[in-house]
Amino acid sequence: NAGVTQTPKFQVLKTGQSMTLQCAQDMNHEYMSWYRQDPGMGLRLIHYSVGAGITDQGEVPNGYNVSRSTTEDFPLRLLSAAPSQTSVYFCASSYSGLAEPYNEQFFGPGTRLTVL
């Protein structure tokens, strides 16, 4: 199993450009999430999904869109990139079952995004 994969690993954008960060998992997990990591701020939840066709906002959703058309994929779209979106982005997935540990999220390796 590849686990959670993210592409690209690195990306530089200009202000106003749009792009999609890709995330895929092959563990048949129902739950998927996007986080951003910034110095001193920890991991902040952007959007999450509890199944195909179901998404919801996290702590910092503004400027980002998501959709979940399949169980495997959960892309994150930046509509009009801003310097404040310079960050490291992590995608994660987790099992929806009733056995502990609940919500044990498996993370991808991250995408480092710079917006100039």
Partner 1 sequence: DQQVKQNSPSLSVQEGRISILNCDYTNSMFDYFLWYKKYPAEGPTFLISISSIKDKNEDGRFTVFLNKSAKHLSLHIVPSQPGDSAVYFCAASAIAGKLIFGQGTTLQVKP
Stretch that binds partner 1, among 11-19, 61-69, 70-78, 100-108 (CB under 8 A): 100-108
Residue 94 and residue 116: Cα distance in Å, rounded? 33
Binding residue (CB under 8 A) for partner 1 from 11, 17, 22, 44: 44
Assess 61 for contact with partner 1 (CB under 8 A).
Answer: no
Assess 7 for contact with partner 1 (CB under 8 A).
Answer: no
CB neighbours (10 Å) of residue 41?
A: 10
Q: Which of 20, 28, 21, 22 is nearest to 3 (CA)?
A: 28
Binding residue (CB under 8 A) for partner 1 from 17, 19, 27, 43: 43
Contacts 24+ apart (CB under 8 A), 100-103: 103/31
Q: Which residues are at the interface with partner 1 (CB under 8 A)?
A: 4, 30-31, 33, 35, 40-45, 48-50, 56, 58-59, 90, 92, 94, 96, 100-110
